[in-house]
Amino acid sequence: MLRRLMTTGALALVLSTGMAIAEPAKVMIPANPGGGWDGAGRHTMAAFAQSKIFTDGASFTNKGGAAGTIGLAEFVRTSKGDDNALLVTGVIMVGGVITNQTPVSLKDTTPLLRLTNEYNAIAVPANSPIKTPQDFIAAMKADPGALSVGGGSAGGADHVMLALLAKHAGAPVAKINFVSFSGGEILAALGGGKIKAAISGASEFRQFAETGRIRIIAVSGPTRVDGLNAPTLKESGIPVEIGNWRGFVGAPGMSEAAKKTWLERFAKLHQTPVWKETLKTQGWEDAYLPGDQFAAFLKAEDASWSSALKEVGILK
Amino acid sequence: MDILSQLIGGFAVALQPMNLFWALIGCALGTAVGVLPGIGPALTIALLMPITAQVAPASAFIMFAGILYGALYGGSTTSILLNTPGESGAVMTALEGNRMARNGRGAAALATAAIGSFVAGTIGTLALTFLAPSIAELAFVFGPEDYFALMVLSFTSVAVVMGRSMVRGFTALFFGLALGTIGIDTQTGQTRMVFGTLELLDGVSFTVVLVSLFAIGEALYVASRSGTVPAAINPLAGGSWMTRQDWARSWKPWLRGSVIGFPIGALPAGGTEIPTFLSYALERRLSKHPKEFGHGAIEGVAGPEAANNAAAAGILVPLLTLGLPSTATAAVLLAAFQNYGLQPGPMLFATNPDLLWGLIASLYIGNLILLVLNLPLVGIWVRLLLIPRHYIYGGIVVFALVGVWGLSTSWMDLLLMCGLGLIGYVARVYDFPIAPVLIGLILGPQAEIQLRRALAVSQGDWGVLVSTPIATMLLSIALVVLVVPPILARLRSRPKTEPAISTG
Amino acid sequence: MSVNPSRQDAHRKPRPWWLGLGVLAMGALWLNGARSIASTTNYIGVGPAAIILAVGMGLAVLGVILITQAMRGELVASPEGEEEAPPSRSAFLLALAGVSIPLLTIRWLGFPLTAMLAFTLVTHAFGSRRTGLDLMVGAVLGSVAWLGFSRLGISLGPFLPLIG
C-alpha cells in the first residue's frame, strides 16, 4: 500500500510541477468571489495583463470572512517574505481589525498603495420633507430616534458616517437609529418609504435617483460626483468626509527592491487608458496614493476609526 | 401587442446559432454546478465574469441565464437519488424524492422534477415577460413587518416536516435556530456565540451544514449498516417513467408551486428557499394521499421543484426592471451588466431592447434545452445508482470535501463538517428529522433581522407588526394554518382510533 | 400525539439519555452566552441577546424532555420502519476516519492526496478491499477536481504543500 501511495504521490508531483507557471503574482482576496474586493483584485490584475505592464499572470486565493481579517491572517501566516504576494485591502479591513481585535493587523504587511475609492451618499425617499444636508442635520437634532437611517453592516463605513453626522448635529451618538440592510433591500426600503433616509455607495443610488424614486441629498467625498445633482457635505458646511477605499499591500518582509518594482508597475498602470476605462466601468473614483504617503494614511485611518467606533458604541 | 413584437425580436437574437450554443453551454454548466453541493450559480457566474471581456453582452447573459436555471434542474438530482441536496432550494425535494428513489421510483421523481421545473420555469418566464413591471412594484410595498409575517407563515410549514414526534422536530428546529445565531449580529455589530474564533464571525455557512447533515451523515449511516444488509435500492424496479396517476397527481402541484414561487422570488428578501417550504406544506395539506407523505409522495417533489424554478424567474424581475439585486446570483448578474457599462432598469429596456428581450427569449429556450437535456438524462442518472455503492459514497465524501473546503479553505469548516456529520448520523439513527434544522438555519436569522428592523423603524412599537394589510393577512393565514388542521383532523378522525397528526 | 414504538419491546430497551443531555448542554451554553452579550436594545426593544436566550431556553427544555423520554425507554432508534440492520462498529469508524482525515492531512498533503485517502477509507468502510484501485481512483478524482476548480479560479489550496 505504501508503495502504491508513493507512486501516486510521484504522479501527483509530476502533475503539479508541470503546472507551475513562471512567477505569477499571488493575489489574496480576503472576500468570497463576486464582491467588491474580488472585483478590485481581479480587475486590477486584468488591467495589468491588458496593458502589458505585468504579463506573468496572477493566481487568486479567495478567503472571505470577518471583514477581511481572516484573509489578512492567512496572508501574514503563509506569505512571509514572498516578493510576489499581494493582498487586496480596504477601509473595511481597517475597521475589522479594530472591532475583531485580531492578533495580526495591516501593520504586519508591507503597505503598497491606495488605488480606488467609492464615496457614500445620503438619499431620502422622493417625497421626503428632507431636501438638503442641513434639513437632515436638523431632523437628526430634533429627534434622532425618529430619523431611521438605513445602511450596510453595523460598524461599517455607513454606520460610522451617520455617527459623525450625529456628532456634528450635536445629537447624542448613542441615540441614532441606524438600521442595517444587505444587498438591494435597502433601495427597496428607501424607495417604498419604509425608512426615512439611507447611506450607501453613491453609485448604488444613481439609477433610482434618475428614475425619481429617491433623491440624493449629499455625497461624502471632497468633490461632487459627475452626473449627480447633489452637494458635498463639506460645501454644505458639514466637515465629514468618508469613503470606501481599496488598495494593495505586499507580503510581510517584502524586499525593498520588490516593493519598488510593484510601485513602479502600479504607477505605470495608473497612467494607462486601460485603467481609466476600468475605473469608469466599475464606477470607482481614482484615489491613487502610493508608498509612504499610503503608509501614513493607513496610520491615520486606524486612529480615526478607533475613535469613531468607540463613539458608536461598537468598540468598548 | 408591443410586448409580443419585442419578444419576437428577442427570439431572433436568442435563436442565432452562436447564442444557442452559449445557452447550451450555460445549461450544461448550470446542471453540473447544481449537482455539486456548495458550488452554486452565483459563484459560477462570478468566476466566469472574465468572459464578459471577450463575448458580446447578449451571448454572455444568455449563458448566465442558462446557469441560473440549470443549477435548479441539477440541484434536485442528487437530492432525489442520493439524499444529498446540491442547493438549498432542493432540501425539500429530498424529503419525498429520496423516499421515492428508495422505493424504486427514482425515475418518476426525476421526471416530475424536470417537467415541473420546465412548467414552472416557463410560467415564471411568461410572468416575467408580461407582468414584470407591476410585480416589481411589490418590492416597494413589502416592508420589514411584511417580511416578518412571511417568515412566520413559513415557520408554520415546519410543523409538517416534524417527523414522527413533536419533541424531535422541535429539537431539530431549535438546533438550526441555535446555529443561525452564531456570528456577528448585523443590527448592533456584536459578536454572538463565536467562542473566540475568527472563523465563526460570519456565522456557520449554510453549505457546510447542508453538506454535513445530509451527505456526511448519510455516508456514515449507510456505511455503518452496509456490512450486513445488501444494497436495498433497485433503481430500475417499479417502472422507470411517470405513470398516468403520477401525471394526475403532479400537474396541480406544478401550477401551485409556480404561483407561490414567482412573486416570492420577485421580493428583494424572498429567495428560492421559502417558496419550497410553503409549497411542500401546502401540498401536504391538500394531498388526497396524506399518508404517503414521508414515504415518497410525488406531490412533495413536484410542488417544491416547481416553486424554486418559478422563484428563479422571479429573481430576474426586480433585477431587470429596477436594477435591484435580491439574491447573491442577482448581485453577480448586476455586476456583469456593469462590466458592460450597462445599468439594468427601465432605461435599459429603452436603450438596449435587443439585449434584454434576447435574454428573456433565451429563458424560454433555456428551459426547453434543459428539459430536453434532463429527460433523457433521467435514465442515465438513475443508472448512476448501479455504480458500486462504495464508489458512490466515496465520491460523495470527496465532493462534500470540495464543497466545504473549496470556498473558504477553512480548517474550521472541516471541523464543523465532521461534528455536524456525526450529528447527522445520530439524527438518522434516532430518527430526528433534518429538514427543520435547515429551515431554522435559513428562517431564524431572517425573521430576527426583519423583526428588529420593523421595531427599529417604529421605535419599539410592537403594533407595527400588524400595521399593514399584507402583514395582517399573512399572520392570519399563519394562524389559520396552525389552528384549523388539528381541529379538522380531530373531527375527521373521530371514528378512527389514531389522531392523524403523527406523520410517519 | 404519543409516539407508538411498536418495536421497542425487543430484548433490551435502549436508553439514549446522553442525547437529551447533549441538547441540554447546548441550551446551557447558549443561555450562558446570552449573558455575555451587552443588551443594547436602543429603539428596538429586542436586543441581540433575546434570541440567544430564547433558543437556549428552548433547547434546555427540549433536553429535559428528551432525557425523561429516554429514561422511560420511549426514545428508540428505528428509522422509518426499515428493516433494522445491526450497525457495524468497524465500518462506522472507518467511514468516520475517512471524513475526519482531512483535518489532519489537508494542510500538508494538499487536496488531491487528502481526497485520495478519504475516498479510500470510505470505500473500505463500505467493504471494498481493492486498496490499490481505490487509491488510484481517489487520487484521480481529487486531482481532476483540483485542476478543474483551479481552472475556474477557485483555489483548493496548494496541490502538494509538501513540495511548496
- Per residue in C89-98, pLDDT tens? 889 999 999 9
The highest-confidence range among B150-159, B315-324, B449-458, by mean pLDDT, is: B449-458
State whether residue C38 is helix, strand or coil.
coil
- Mutate which of A1, A3, A5 to test chain C, going by most C C-beta atoms within 10 A? A5
What's the total number of domains in chain C?
A: 2
Residue B357 Cα distances to B10, B243, B350, B404, angstroms: 4, 38, 11, 38
Residues found in chain A: 316
How far apart CA C55 and CA A173 sit, in angstroms, is 31
Q: Which of B136, B123, B149 is nearest to B330 (CA)?
A: B136
B269: nearest CB among A153, A185, A207: A185
**What are the chain B neighbours of A46 within 8 Å (beta carbons)?**
50, 53
Q: Are C153 and C109 part of one and the same domain?
A: yes
How far apart CA C158 and CA A289 sit, in angstroms, is 33
| Cα distance between the two ends of chain B | 52
Q: Is A193 left (phi over 0), alpha (psi -120 to 50) or beta?
A: left
**What are the chain C neighbours of A313 within 8 Å (beta carbons)?**
40
A145: nearest CA partner in chain B: B459
User: What is the residue-wise DSSP string for A211-249?
Assistant: TTSEEEEEE-SSSPPTT----BTTTTT-----EEEEEEE
Asked whether the predicted pLDDT for residue A14 surpasses 50, the reply is no
Alpha helices in B234-345 (DSSP H): 244-266, 273-286, 299-322, 328-339
User: What is the residue-wise DSSP string for A78-114?
Assistant: H-TT-TTEEEEEEHHHHHHHHHHT-S--GGGSEEEEE
Contact A12 C131 (CB under 8 A): no
**Cα three-residue angle B43-B94-B282, rounded to 5 degrees:** 105
Asked whether the predicted pLDDT for residue C62 surpasses 90, the reply is yes
Asked whether the predicted pLDDT for residue C12 surpasses 60, the reply is no
pLDDT, tens digit, for every residue of B404-452?
Answer: 887 677 888 899 999 999 999 999 888 888 889 988 998 898 899 899 9
Asked whether the predicted pLDDT for residue A65 surpasses 80, the reply is no
**What are the chain A neighbours of B52 within 8 Å (beta carbons)?**
none
How far apart CA A297 and CA B429 sit, in angstroms, is 58
Q: C25: distance to nearest CA of chain B, Å?
A: 12
Q: Are A66 and A124 part of one and the same domain?
A: no
Domain final residue, candidates C27, C50, C78: C78
Residue C9: its pLDDT value, please? 43
Q: Which of B86, B69, B66 is nearest to B120 (CA)?
A: B69
Q: Which of B396, B335, B302 is nearest to B114 (CA)?
A: B302
How far apart CA A66 and CA B184 sit, in angstroms, is 9
pLDDT, tens digit, for every residue of B346-382?
Answer: 778 778 888 888 889 999 999 999 998 888 877 777 7
Cell of B215: 451527505
Contacts of B413 by beta carbon, 8 Å cutoff, 6+ apart? B199, B205, B208, B404, B405
Q: What is the mean pLDDT of residues B467-480?
A: 92
- Estimate the crossing angle of helix B91-102 against helix B435-457, to 10 degrees: 160
**Global pTM value:** 0.84
Q: What ipTM score was computed for the predicted complex, to two decimals?
A: 0.87
Name the residue range of residue C114's domain: 89-163
CB pairs under 8 A between A and B: 139
Asked whether residue C158 is domain-assigned, the answer is: yes
Report chain A's mean pLDDT, rounded to a whole number. 83
Q: What is the mean pLDDT of residues B272-293?
A: 89
**Cα three-residue angle A85-A88-A89, rounded to 5 degrees:** 130
Least confident of A173-187, B179-193, B484-498, C101-115: B484-498
Q: What is the mean pLDDT of residues B47-74?
A: 85
Q: Which of A285, A178, A210, A296 is nearest to A241 (CA)?
A: A285
The neighbour count for residue B3, using CB atoms within 10 Å, is 12
Please tell me which residue, A174 or C1, carries the higher pLDDT value.
A174
Please say whether the beta carbons of A91 and A103 come within 8 A. no
Question: How far does CA B276 lie from the centroid of its chain?
Answer: 6
Q: What is the mean pLDDT of residues A12-27?
A: 53
pLDDT, tens digit, for every residue of A174-205?
Answer: 888 999 887 678 888 999 999 999 998 888 88
Q: Are C128 and C107 part of one and the same domain?
A: yes
Asked whether the predicted pLDDT for residue C26 surpasses 70, the reply is yes
Asked whether residue A157 is domain-assigned, the answer is: yes
Contact C154 A15 (CB under 8 A): no
Please say whether the beta carbons of B106 and B100 come within 8 A. yes
Residue B456 Cα distances to A121, A169, B188, B310, C51, angstroms: 22, 21, 12, 33, 16
The CATH number of whichever domain residue A97 belongs to comes to 3.40.190.150
**Residue matched to cell numbers 451554553:** C29
Please say whether the beta carbons of B311 and B261 come within 8 A. yes
Q: Which amino acid is at B382?
A: V
B201: nearest CB among A46, A62, A100: A100
Q: Phi first, then psi: what are they for B443, rounded to 5°?
A: -80, -35
**What are the chain B neighbours of C4 within 8 Å (beta carbons)?**
498, 502
Domain final residue, candidates C55, C78, C101: C78
Contact C43 B216 (CB under 8 A): no
Q: Which of A311, A315, A305 is nearest to A166 (CA)?
A: A311
C160: nearest CB among A13, A59, A177: A13
Residue B106: its pLDDT value, please? 84
How far apart CA B448 and CA B180 sit, in angstroms, is 10
Pairing of strands A25-29, A85-90: parallel
How far apart CA B26 and CA B45 sit, in angstroms, is 10
Where in chain B are the domains? Answer: 2-492
Contact A59 C160 (CB under 8 A): no
Contact B460 C44 (CB under 8 A): yes
Q: Are A125 and A112 part of one and the same domain?
A: no
CB pairs under 8 A between A and C: 45
pLDDT, tens digit, for every residue of A253-312?
Answer: 888 888 888 888 888 888 999 888 888 877 788 888 888 899 999 998 888 888 888 877
- C80 band by pLDDT with thresholds 50, 70 and 90: very low
State whether residue C103 is helix, strand or coil.
helix
Contacts of B28 by beta carbon, 8 Å cutoff, 6+ apart? B66, B70, B373
Asked whether residue A1 is domain-assigned, the answer is: no
Residue B60 Cα distances to B19, B23, B213, B337, angstroms: 9, 9, 36, 10
Contacts of C53 by beta carbon, 8 Å cutoff, 6+ apart? C30, C31, C34
How far apart CA A8 and CA C132 sit, in angstroms, is 10
Please say whether the beta carbons of A200 and A191 come within 8 A. no
What's the total number of domains in chain A?
A: 2
- B163 band by pLDDT with thresholds 50, 70 and 90: low
Residue A265 Cα distances to A75, A80, A269, B263, B309, angstroms: 22, 21, 6, 50, 47
Asked whether residue A229 is domain-assigned, the answer is: no
Q: Are C156 and C95 part of one and the same domain?
A: yes
- C43 band by pLDDT with thresholds 50, 70 and 90: low
Helix (H) or strand (E) run with residue A127 in it: none
The neighbour count for residue B450, using CB atoms within 10 Å, is 23
Cell of B86: 446540491
Asked whether the predicted pLDDT for residue B466 surpasses 50, the reply is yes
Sign of CA dihedral B470, B345, A44, B57: positive
Please say whether the beta carbons of C45 and C114 come within 8 A. no
* Rg of chain A on CA atoms, in Å: 22
Residue B399: its pLDDT value, please? 86
Contacts of A172 by beta carbon, 8 Å cutoff, 6+ apart? A144, A166
Asked whether the predicted pLDDT for residue C53 surpasses 50, the reply is yes
pLDDT, tens digit, for every residue of B228-268?
Answer: 555 555 555 445 678 888 899 999 999 999 999 999 998 88
Q: Which chains share 3+ C-beta pairs under 8 angstroms with A?
A: B, C
Cell of B250: 403532479
Name the residue range of residue A185's domain: 118-219
Percent of chain B past pLDDT 70, that is, above it, reads: 93
Contact C77 B426 (CB under 8 A): no
Residue A18: its pLDDT value, please? 36
Q: Are C130 and C64 part of one and the same domain?
A: no
C156: nearest CA partner in chain A: A61
Q: Are C47 and C22 part of one and the same domain?
A: yes
- Mutate which of B146, B201, B409, B459 to test chain A, going by most A C-beta atoms within 10 A? B201
Asked whether residue A3 is domain-assigned, the answer is: no
Cell of B194: 463565536
